[in-house]
A and B are shown apart, each in its own frame.
Chain A
Amino acid sequence: MNGVLVTTSPFWRFSNYPQTEDLYDPASEKDSCGVAMVATLRGYGGNDIVQTALGSLCNLEHRGAVGSDAGTGDGAGILMQIPHKFFKEVVKFDLPEEGSYGAGLVFEDTDGSVREDQRLQLAEIFSQEGLSLLGWREIESNPDVLGDLAREAMPHIGQVFVAGKNGENDLELERLLFRARKRSERELGLYHPTLSCRTIVYKGMLTTLQLQPFFDDLQDTRIESKMALVHSRFSTNTFPSWPLAHPFRLIAHNGEINTVKGNTNWMRAREESISSDLIGDLQPLRPIVTPGASDSASFDEVLELLHLSGRSLPHAIMMMIPEAWEKQRDMDPELKAFYEYHSLLMEPWDGPASVTFTDGSLVGATLDRNGLRPGRYLVTDDGLVILGSETGVYDVDPAKVVERGRLQPGKMFLVDTTEGRIISDSEIKQKMAQQHDWGKWLEGNRLNLRDLPEREHVRHSSASVERRQHVFGYTEEELKEVIGPMATKGIEPIGAMGTDTPIAAISDRPRLLFDYFTQQFAQVTNPPLDAIREEVVTSLSSVIGPEGNILESDSDHAKRMIVDFPVLDNDEMAKIRNINQPGVGFTHVVDARYSVDGGAEALASRLEELCLEADQAIAEGASFMVISDRDTNRELAPIPSLLATSAIHHHLIRQGTRTKVGVVVEAGDVREVHHVAVLVGYGAAAVNPYLALETAEEMVRTKQLLNITTATATAHLAKALGKGVLKVMSKMGISTVSSYSGAQCFEAVGLGQPMVDKYFTGTISKLGGVDLDIIHQEIEHRHLRAYPIEEFEQSGLDVGGELKWRREGPPHLFNPETVFKLQHSTRAGKYEIFKQYTNAVDDQSEKLMTLRGLFKFRTDKTTSIPIEEVEPISEIVKRFATGAMSYGSISPEAHETLAVAMNRLGGKSNTGEGGESLQRLTNPETRSSIKQVASGRFGVTSMYLTNADDIQIKMAQGAKPGEGGQLPPGKVYPFIAEIRHSTPGVGLISPPPHHDIYSIEDLKQLIFDLKRANPSARIHVKLVSQFGVGTVAAGVAKAKSDVILISGHDGGTGASPLNSLKHAGTPWEIGLAETQQTLMHNGLRDRVSVQVDGQMKTGRDVVVAALLGAEEFGFSTAPLVVSGCVLMRVCHLDTCPVGVATGNPVLRERFSGKADFVVNFFEYLAQEVREYLAEFGFRTLDEAIGRVDLLDVNRAIKHWKGDGLDLSPILSTELPAGERKNTTQQDHELEKHFDQQLIRLAETSLEDGLPVTIDLPVSNVNQAVGTMLGHELTKRFGAEGLPESTIDINLTGSAGQSLGAFVPKGIAIKVVGDVNDYLGKGLSGGLLSVRPFAGSQYQSHESVIAGNVIGYGATGGKIFVSGVVGERFLVRNSGVIAVVEGVGDHALEYMTGGEAVILGGTGINVGAGMSGGIGYFYKLNTDRVNEQAIASGELLIQGLSEFDQERLKKILQEYVDYTGSKIATDMLDNFDTEKDNFQKLVPSDYARVLEIRTEAIQTGADPDGSETWTKILEVTNG
C-alpha cells in the first residue's frame, strides 16, 4: 500500500481552473516568462544578493502579465540558499548546523483540522524515510496585497523543518528529503515548493511587485544567500495556480518544452527499467512525472531524479538539453562522444528553453540549441553576477562592470559560488567529455543501420502492386499529384487555395485513419523552427533497441542501433527484419493483419493479440520490433498501421517495457508526409512505406515517370517523406526526431473517446466520433475493392478528387455549379441567382461537408420581425474584411479591386505580407485598410504602419500554420520588388517564425511596438484554429491585442505543402467556440473583438459565426472567385489563367474582376444576413453575437460516421455571465510611454523640421523608445522623413527592448550603455548607435552590448554598435547599413538588401537564406557560413574589390564617428594591410541581377523592362 490515493494532482490544487464540459481544457495552458539570476563570487552570502534579485524581478514586470482581475499575477517566486542564520533566529526550536536539516514551505489545506491531520501523517512519512520532524513555523504573509482570484485560491502556507535521523547532510540528506516530499505529494496531496537542505523557494500566484510585500520573510534583512533565482510568469490564462509558479526545486524556466507529452510518456515507459541504489526503492515515488504538472515542473522532476541518482547538475542538464552536436564541424570529438552516448540514453527535452538552475552551490543557466530565449549577464569587479532575460534588470554602476555577455544557444553559463568563480562553457564541457572514455564505450557497441549486411532487392509484379494499391485505397490522383512529384523531385508537392472537402470525421467516403489526426503547430507561445535555413540544429536520426537503466552509466548502454533517417527504403527494411546476431539482438515481426470477415470484433481481438505477442517477444529478448501489414490477402486485411503501432506503443508503456524494444513500422498505407509524421508521433522510430516505394518503381517502369531510374525515384520519395517530417516537426518547434517520436503532437478530430483512451492515450479528441466499428468498415470497403466478390470490368484505381475536383470524388464546396452561380450573380447583379448559389453551398454544407452544416438555427426561441426593422446593409458590411493576400501573390489588379470595393463599402481589405505602394497608401480609394505584419516583414515601414486603420500580426495562416512563405524568383517582378524593398528576380522567403516572437511575452512586445508605431490603429493577432487556440487567444488578449482573428484550417489562398493544406489545424467552428468560451471564462471577452475566417461563403456562415461569438468576418476565396478565380490551385506557379494570382503581365491582361462585382457580393451577403436576423427577431448583428443557445445539433445526424460525433462542447452554454462581445478597449498605457517626453521635447522639429538635441537617461523598462516619435514624424513628413539626425537623441543607461523600432529618417538615437533585443526592428531610415560607457573596464569587442534579432525587417537607416551583439543579427534586413564588433549565430539570415560590416567573430550559420545585400567580415571563419548555401553556390565569399574597399572605408569612418570604436579606428589606421583581412559575402543571384540591371542602365535600356526581366530570369532560373 502506498497510502491514500490522491486523485487531484497537487498542481491543480490551489488554483482557479474551472472544471468545464466545453472546449476549454486546462491541459492547453502555456506560460512564458522573465527570469533573473544573481550570484556572488565573493564567497559569502548576504542580504544584498536577495535584494538584488528581488529588485531585478521588479524590472521584469513587463514580461509578466496580469489577468482580467488587475491584482492577480500569473506567478512570481524566488529560489535561494537556506537562510540558516535567519532561521536559527526565528524558529522556536533548535536547528542542527547548516546543511544538516531540510526546510521548506508547504502549501496546505486551509481547513485547520484537515491540516492538523495532514501534519501528523507527514511526520509519519518523515519517520518512515529516516527523517525526524524538527518542527513547524507559520509563515507570515499579507494576503491583502493579492488580487481576488489569487486570494481565493491561496493555500495555507506553513514551513517545516526536518533532519536526518543519522545526521545526514548534503546530497545524502537531500535524497531522504526527496523521498519524503514525493511521498507526501503522492499520498497526502500536499505541495512542497521545496524541501531541501540546500535551497528554499518562496513563490505564489503573485505579480512581480507583490512577491516581497506578500512574504514577511523576504522583507527581513537577516535573510542571506550567495545566489538567488527569480522568476516572473506570463500565463495564457487568468486562473493560474499557486504551485505552478516558478522557480521549481532546481530550476526556473523561460520557455516551453514542446515534446513534453513524449518525454513524460517515455519516462513512464522506463519506470520499470530504472533503479538507483542511492535513492532506494523508487516504487513509492512513482510516477516520476506528476500528472498535471506543467512542462517546466515535469522537466524539474526528471532533472531532480537524474541529479539525485548520481549525476552532477550540469551533467544532467546536458543530458536533457543537449546542444546541437550532430552537425557541428568544429566540436571536440570527445564532447561529441559524450552527447552521442547520452543520446542513446534519453531523447532531448526539446523546445525553446532558457533554464536557470542551481543545486545550492553551483548556479547556472543554459539555452536550448535554437537559442530562442534571451539571456544577458554582467559581472562586476566586486564579484556580483547578474543574469537576466534582459540587460539592465538591476542598476549597476557601469564603471564597475568587468564583463558583459549573453547566453548562447546550447551553451552553459555556470557560477560556482563556493569556489567563487565563473566556470566557462568549455571548461564544464571538457570535464564532462573526459569523465569517461565515452568514445570507447560507443565503439564496438553502438551500431548503425549502414553496418548491417546488404540485402537483395525484391521487385514486385505490376499486378501485385496494383492489387495492394486497392487494398490501401490508393487513387490515381495520389499517384499523379503526390507520389509522382515526390519521386521526381525529392520534395513534397505544393498545392494552393486551401481545402474545401469534408474532413475525415464527416466524410462520406472511407478515409485513412491518419486523416483523423491533425498536426499541432506552434503559435504564439513558442515559435516554429526554420528547418531549412537552420537545419544545422536539427537531427533526423533516432535510436532503436533496448534502453538500459538511465540512472546509471556504463558501456552497455551504448548497445543500440542508430537509424539516420525516419524513412526506410525496402532494402533497409529487409536488413532490420533479418537482424539476428549475438550482441545485437533479434527482430520480431508483428503481423498487423486481421480477419476482415470477423468485423470490428476481429479487429479488436487481433489488436489484443498483437499486444500480447509484443509482450511475449520482449520476454524472449527481442530487441527490435517490426509492425508490418505486408502480405495482405483475400481473408486478411491490414490493420491501419497507425492503430497497430499506437496500440502496441501504449500497451508497452503501460507495461513499463516500451524502452526494451525499438519499433519500426512497415506500412502499406503510408504515402504522404503526414502519414509518416503521425506514425513517428505515436512511437515509431522509423517507417518503411513499402507500397509507396513500390508504386514509384512501378510508375518508372510504366513510363509514367520519365528520365529517372527506379533507384533514384525511390530514394527521392523516401527523402521527400523524411524531410517533410522534419518540416512537420519544425512547425511544432521540435528539432530532433528522437524527441518527436512518441510526442503525440496531434489532435484527433472525429475519433471516439473510448478508442482514443485505449489506443491513443492522452490524445485530445474534443468532439468524440467514430469507434473501431467504423474503422473496420472503412478497411472493409477498401478491401472489397481489391478483392471484389463479383469481378467485372472495373479496372484502374479510383480517380481521387481530394485535391482537384472530380465528379466521382469527394464533394467540394466550390465546384462548377457554385463557382458559376457566384460569378454570374455578382457580375450580372442578380440576387436571385446569388440565393441559388448560397442555397447550393448551404445545402452541401448540410450534407456533412462542414461542421457548421450540422447546426440548425433555433428560431423557435425568438419572434421574427419584418426585415425593414433590421439594421441596413451599409451597417453590416462594415464588419466584413477581405483576407490577407499579398501584393505579389495576387496581381495588382486583383489586389486593388478588393481594396477599392472594401473602401467603397466601408469594410476592410488587407495588404497581406508584401507592403503597399506609396500611391495606394495615401489614396483613400485604393489603400488597404488593414496592414499585415508577417514574418518576412516585407514593406513594413513607419509609413506603412502610420497609414493603417488596423495592423494585423499574422501568427499563422490556415493553409500552412507554422510555416513560412515563399515568393519564387519568377514572381518577384520589378514592381513587386520595389514595394518589398528587394531585388527583382530574386526569390523571397518569409521565415516560419517571426524572429521577434518566440513566446507570448515577445508577442506582447510586438503589440506594444506596433501600437506605438501607430497609436490609433487597432492591433490584430491572427491565429489558426487548433486545440488550445482559446488559451492562446486569452494570452493574446492579455498581451493587449485589440482584435483576435481565428482562422479555419481550410482557408488559405496561397501556396502550401499538401500536408499542411490538408492536415494542420481544425475547422474554425471549433476554434472560435473555444476562443469565445475561454475568453469568457477569463473575463477577457469584453476587451477584444473577435474576427473569424476560413471558407466563409454565405450569409448562413456569417450568422453561425456570429452566434458562436464572432463580431467580424473575413472572406478571401469567395471575393476572389467573384473577381474571376476559378480555383485553378496554381497560385504558386504564377500561371493563373484569369490574372488573379499572378504577376505575369500577359495573364494580368486577362483579369476580368471589377470592384462593382465585389461590392455586389458583400451587399448580397449582408442582405442574406439581414434575412436571418429578421427571422431571429434581431435588429442588429450585435444582438446575435455569442448566442450559442440559438444553435441546435440535436437533430438526428443521418450518417454512417456521424453517430459518435458530439458537438455539444462547441455549443456549451454554461459560461460565466459577462459580456459576449467587445464593449470596451484595451488599456495600452500610451500616455505612460517614454516617447511622450520625446515628442514634447522635439516639438520644434515636428512642427517646423528644425533640429533639436535631447539628452535623457533610459532603462530596460523603457521599451520601443523612439517609435511613437517616429510615427509623429512620419505623419507630418511622409515617407521622406527629415534630414538625418534632425532630432538628435542621446540616451544613457540600459535601453529596453525594441529601441528605435520603425524609426524613420530624421531621428538619431545614440545610446551610451547597452541595449536589449530587437534594436532597430523595422528601422525605416533612422540612425541608431550604441557605445559603452566611457569608463568601462572591458574591451568592447569582447563584450555583449546589444541583444538578439537586431534590425529585423529593417528597410533603411544605419545601426552602429560598438560591441558584440546576439543571435540573428540583421535577419531580413533589406536596406540598413550596420556595423558591429561581433555577432552570434545565424547572422544576416534572410537578408535581402543593405550592408553589414562585422569586425569580430561570428556564431554558426552565417548567411542562411540570404538573398540580397552584402556582408563585409573581418577574418571570417568560413566554416561558420551556411554550409548548403556555399556548397550550392548561392552565396559567394570574395575578396574586396577597389569599389568595396572604398565603400567599407567610408562606412567604417562614419561608424567611428558615432561610436569611437577602438578596433575600427585601428583598422582604419592600418587599412592598407587590414583590408586584406576582410572578405565579402554576397548572394550570387543578387550579384548577377545587380550586374544585369547596371548594364541595362549603362546601355540605356529600361532596368525594369521586359528585356532585362528575361535576362534576369535566365540567371535566377525564375
Chain B
Amino acid sequence: MADPKGFLKTTERETAKKRPVPVRIMDWKEVYEERDGEVIKRQASRCMDCGIPFCHQGCPLGNLIPEWNDLTRQGLGEDAIERLHATNNFPEFTGRICPAPCEDTCVLGINQPPVTIKEIEVSIIDDAFENGYVKPSIPERLTGKTIAVVGSGPAGLAAAQQLTRAGHTVAVYERDDRIGGLLRYGIPDFKLEKTHIDRRVRQMQAEGTLFRPGVNIGEDISWADLRQRYDSVLVATGALKPRNLDIPGRDSEGIHFAMDYLTQSNKTVAGDDVSGRIDAKGKHVIVLGGGDTGADCLGTATRQGAKSVTTLAIGQQPPSERTEDMPWPSIPNLFEVQSAHEEFGDRKFLSSTVQFISENGKVTGLEVAETEYRDGGRFPKAGTERIIPADLVLLSLGFVGTEGDKLVEQAKVELDNRGNVARGSKYEVEDGLFVAGDAGRGASLVVWAIAEGRAAASAIDEYLEGEARLPFPVKPTDQPLSVYT
C-alpha cells in the first residue's frame, strides 16, 4: 500500500549531507552529517512498490526493499528492521559501504534518479539500534554440532550468525587481532566506523557465537586438525592476494600494496601503535588504480596530510551516464565521485605506468605514458612518456585470488584458474568443507560476501541436519544481470 503517486510528488533524489570537506578531513569519522528522518521518509515514499522489484533482484541478498521502504514511509521502524534483517544480517555494513546495485536496478532509475535505497537501509538499522529493537536471537535448542568459520569478514560473520541461530555451535577464527576482516582493516573509518562492527559482534557473542581472533589457521592450527575438531568447516578467508605491477623500479622503497597501507592506518586510527607505519604526511602520493580501494587510499592519504595525491587509472574515464552496452538494469560502469575524490587530489585516466624512478632506492617518481588500446590489450603509447614526481606509491590494482597456499597444502582443496577455491553448487569443497565469500568468488562486494555467507550457512545446515531450513539467497555461480551473460 505504498503511495502510488509518491514518486510523482517527490521527484528529487535527496541524499544525506556530507560534512564540509575542510572539517571532515580533520578527523576519521564518517563523512555524513546526521540524517534527517523526514528526508528519509520522503525518499522512501518515492518507492513505487514495483510489480517486479528489480532492486530486490539486483541485491544479491534479495533484500525486501519495497517492503521496508514502505514501512519506513509509514514510520514503522520496528517492522522495517524485522523485514530488513530477514535477508540481511548486517545492514549497518551494507548501508554504508555497498555500492548499491539495488539503486542501479531501481525501476525509477530508468528515467529518474533512483530511490535512495542505501540510505533508507542504514537509517532503518541505525534507528533500530538506537531504539533497542536489535536483540540477540538465541536458539532455543542446540543441535550439538560444531562448525569452524575461518575468516571474520562479512561472509564469515554472516555464516556464523545464521548457523548459530540455527542451533549449531560456531567458532570464528581470525588471524588478525580483531574481528572483522576486510571490514575492520580494509575500510577506513570515514566510510565505516568500527563501532558498528563491535556492536554487531557483541550481539553475536550474546547469541553464542565464539570468536577466536589472532589464530592463523594453517599456521597455528593446521587445516587438517581443524577438520578433525569440527563437524564442518567454512573457509571465508577472502581474496587478499594483491595484483602486482612488475615493472622496472618496483623494488624501490616507498611502493606499497594498498591493503598494507590501509591496514596500518586503520590500526592507528583504532589506537594501536604501529611501528614503521607508512605515512603520507607531506608526501606526493601516487595511487595506482581507480577503484574503491584507490579511493580509500586517497581519503586516508588526505587525512594523513599528503602534499598531493594523484590517482592514475590505466583505462579511460568512464561515461557519466549509461551507454548502449550497459542498459538498465545491468550494473553500469560509470564515472564516480566518491567522498574522497571531493576532498583532495587529481585523477588521471589513460595513464600507463612504464617504470618507477628512484633515487637511492627510494621512489621519486613514475614514468607514465598515455594508454593505447591495441590488439585487445592496453599498452603505453610510445612517445607520450613523461615523469611525475612521487614520494609514496600505493598499488591498488585489484586482487588475484585467495592466499590459499596452506589450505591447498593441508586440506583437499584445489584453486580454480582465477586463484579462488573451487567449489560445487552448494559451496562445498569436499565433504564437510565449504567455502564462501571472496575466497570462492574472488574479490567482490560486501553484499555478495554476506549473501554467500548466508547461502553457505544454509548448505552447511542442510549437510548437518539433512534438510534445508535456512534461506539460500545466491548460488555460487550467480552473477548480476548483464548484457554479456
- List residues of chain A with CB within 8 A of the CB of B82: 795-796
Q: Is residue B166 within 8 Å, beta carbon to beta carbon, of the partner chain?
A: yes
Contacts A799-B64, A1135-B4, A1137-B108 given; indicate if A1127 touches B51 (C-beta within 8 A). yes
A1135–B8 CB distance below 8 A: yes
Q: Is residue A485 within 8 Å, beta carbon to beta carbon, of the partner chain?
A: yes
> B68 to nearest A CB, angstroms?
12
Instruction: Give Cα A1124 to B167, complex, Å.
Output: 47
B53–A476 CB distance below 8 A: no
B57–A807 CB distance below 8 A: yes
A1126–B50 CB distance below 8 A: yes
B53–A804 CB distance below 8 A: yes
Which of A113-121, A300-308, A572-580, A810-818 contacts the other chain?
A810-818
Q: Is residue B26 within 8 Å, beta carbon to beta carbon, of the partner chain?
A: no
Instruction: Give Cα A805 to B55, complex, Å.
Output: 11
> A625 to nearest B CB, angstroms?
38
B56–A1130 CB distance below 8 A: no
- List residues of chain B with CB within 8 A of the CB of A796: 82-83, 86
B137–A827 CB distance below 8 A: no
B4–A1133 CB distance below 8 A: yes
Q: Is residue B62 within 8 Å, beta carbon to beta carbon, of the partner chain?
A: yes
Q: Is residue A790 within 8 Å, beta carbon to beta carbon, of the partner chain?
A: yes
- List residues of chain B with CB within 8 A of the CB of A790: 141, 167, 465, 469
Q: Is residue B20 within 8 Å, beta carbon to beta carbon, of the partner chain?
A: no
Contacts A804-B52, A828-B327, A1127-B52 given; indicate if A485 touches B8 (C-beta within 8 A). no
> B119 to nearest A CB, angstroms?
21
Q: Is residue B39 within 8 Å, beta carbon to beta carbon, of the partner chain?
A: no
> B110 to nearest A CB, angstroms?
6
B51–A804 CB distance below 8 A: yes
Which B residue sits closest to A814, measured CB to CB? B52
Q: Is residue A723 within 8 Å, beta carbon to beta carbon, of the partner chain?
A: no
Q: List 15 A-B contacts (CB under 8 A).
A: A480-B1, A485-B1, A702-B79, A791-B141, A796-B83, A804-B49, A804-B66, A807-B62, A820-B481, A828-B483, A1127-B52, A1146-B8, A1147-B8, A1150-B111, A1152-B111
> A1514 to nearest B CB, angstroms?
15
Neighbour of A824 across the interface among B51, B57, B327, CB < 8 A: B327
- List residues of chain A with CB within 8 A of the CB of B83: 796
A833–B483 CB distance below 8 A: yes
- List residues of chain A with CB within 8 A of the CB of B7: 1135, 1137
Instruction: Give Cα A72 to B74, complex, Å.
Output: 69
B139–A792 CB distance below 8 A: yes
Instruction: Give Cα A497 to B51, complex, Å.
Output: 9
- List residues of chain A with CB within 8 A of the CB of B86: 796
Q: Contact mask A828-857 → B, CB, 8 Å, 1/0?
A: 100001000000000000000000000000
Contacts A804-B51, A806-B56, A1135-B8 given; indicate if A793 touches B137 (C-beta within 8 A). yes
A828–B165 CB distance below 8 A: no
- List residues of chain A with CB within 8 A of the CB of B179: none
Instruction: Give Cα A702 to B78, complex, Å.
Output: 11
Q: Is residue B321 within 8 Å, beta carbon to beta carbon, of the partner chain?
A: no
Q: Is residue B386 within 8 Å, beta carbon to beta carbon, of the partner chain?
A: no
Q: Is residue A1138 within 8 Å, beta carbon to beta carbon, of the partner chain?
A: yes
Query: Which residues of A779-815 have CB atoms within 8 Å of chain B's CB atoms?
Result: 790-796, 799, 803-808, 812, 814-815
Instruction: Give Cα A153 to B462, complex, Å.
Output: 67
> B306 to nearest A CB, angstroms?
43
- Since A791-B140, A1126-B110, A1129-B51 are in contact, a sample of 15 more A-B pairs with Cβ atoms closer than 8 Å, ordered by chain A residue number, is A703-B74, A792-B140, A792-B166, A792-B469, A796-B82, A799-B67, A804-B49, A816-B329, A817-B481, A824-B483, A1128-B107, A1130-B48, A1135-B4, A1138-B110, A1138-B111
Which B residue sits closest to A706, measured CB to CB? B74
Contacts A814-B52, A1128-B48, A1135-B4 given; indicate if A820 touches B111 (C-beta within 8 A). no
Instruction: Give Cα A702 to B80, complex, Å.
Output: 13
Contacts A833-B483, A1133-B4, A1137-B107 given; indicate if A704 touches B76 (C-beta within 8 A). yes
Contacts A816-B329, A1126-B107 given; indicate if A805 touches B51 (C-beta within 8 A). yes
Q: Is residue A865 within 8 Å, beta carbon to beta carbon, of the partner chain?
A: no
- List residues of chain B with CB within 8 A of the CB of A484: 1
- List residues of chain B with CB within 8 A of the CB of A795: 82
Instruction: Give Cα A1128 to B47, complex, Å.
Output: 12
Query: Which residues of B434-485 have CB atoms within 8 Å of chain A's CB atoms?
Result: 465, 469, 471, 473, 481, 483
Q: Which of A488, A702, A792, A795 has the most CB of B within 10 A?
A: A792
Q: Is residue A967 within 8 Å, beta carbon to beta carbon, of the partner chain?
A: no
Neighbour of B5 across the interface among A807, A816, A1135, CB < 8 A: A1135
Q: Contact mask A1137-1177 → B, CB, 8 Å, 1/0?
A: 11000001011001010000000000000000000000000
Q: Is residue A254 within 8 Å, beta carbon to beta carbon, of the partner chain?
A: no
> B327 to nearest A CB, angstroms?
5
Which A residue sits closest to B166, measured CB to CB? A792
> B279 to nearest A CB, angstroms?
45
> B132 to nearest A CB, angstroms?
17
Instruction: Give Cα A1147 to B62, complex, Å.
Output: 29
> B79 to nearest A CB, angstroms?
8
Instruction: Give Cα A1129 to B52, complex, Å.
Output: 9
Q: Is residue B54 within 8 Å, beta carbon to beta carbon, of the partner chain?
A: yes
Which A residue sits closest to B482, measured CB to CB? A820
> A1500 to nearest B CB, angstroms?
30
Which B residue sits closest to A788, measured CB to CB? B469
- List residues of chain A with CB within 8 A of the CB of B324: 828
> B321 to nearest A CB, angstroms?
14
Query: Which residues of A480-520 have CB atoms within 8 Å of chain B's CB atoms?
Result: 480-481, 484-485, 488, 497
Instruction: Give Cα A488 to B52, complex, Å.
Output: 25
Instruction: Give Cα A793 to B168, complex, Å.
Output: 13
Neighbour of A807 across the interface among B49, B56, B112, B139, CB < 8 A: B56
Instruction: Give Cα A1137 to B49, complex, Å.
Output: 11
Instruction: Give Cα A790 to B145, complex, Å.
Output: 15
Q: Is residue B330 within 8 Å, beta carbon to beta carbon, of the partner chain?
A: yes
- List residues of chain A with CB within 8 A of the CB of B1: 480-481, 484-485, 488
> B138 to nearest A CB, angstroms?
9
Instruction: Give Cα A1130 to B107, complex, Å.
Output: 13
Q: Contact mask B300-326 → A, CB, 8 Å, 1/0?
A: 000000000000000000000000100
B140–A812 CB distance below 8 A: no
- List residues of chain B with CB within 8 A of the CB of A755: none
| Top-3 shortest CB links A-B | A1129-B51, A816-B57, A1127-B51
- List residues of chain A with CB within 8 A of the CB of B79: 702, 704
Which A residue sits closest to B2, measured CB to CB? A480
Instruction: Give Cα A807 to B475, complex, Å.
Output: 13
Q: Is residue A823 within 8 Å, beta carbon to beta carbon, of the partner chain?
A: yes
- List residues of chain A with CB within 8 A of the CB of B67: 476, 799
Instruction: Give Cα A808 to B139, complex, Å.
Output: 24
> A609 to nearest B CB, angstroms?
33
- List residues of chain A with CB within 8 A of the CB of B471: 808
- List residues of chain B with CB within 8 A of the CB of A1193: none
Which A residue sits closest to B58, measured CB to CB? A816
- List residues of chain B with CB within 8 A of the CB of A1138: 110-111
> A1343 to nearest B CB, angstroms?
54
Q: Contact mask A616-660 → B, CB, 8 Å, 1/0?
A: 000000000000000000000000000000000000000000000
B327–A823 CB distance below 8 A: yes
- List residues of chain A with CB within 8 A of the CB of B8: 1135, 1144, 1146-1147
> A820 to nearest B CB, angstroms?
5
- List residues of chain A with CB within 8 A of the CB of B76: 703-704
Instruction: Give Cα A1130 to B2, complex, Å.
Output: 12
Which A residue sits closest to B6, measured CB to CB? A1135
> B474 to nearest A CB, angstroms?
10
Instruction: Give Cα A1138 to B79, complex, Å.
Output: 31
- List residues of chain A with CB within 8 A of the CB of B166: 792-793
- List residues of chain B with CB within 8 A of the CB of A816: 52, 54, 57-58, 105, 329, 481
> A1464 to nearest B CB, angstroms?
51
Instruction: Give Cα A793 to B457, complex, Å.
Output: 14
Instruction: Give Cα A877 to B265, complex, Å.
Output: 66
> A819 to nearest B CB, angstroms?
6
> A564 to nearest B CB, angstroms?
30
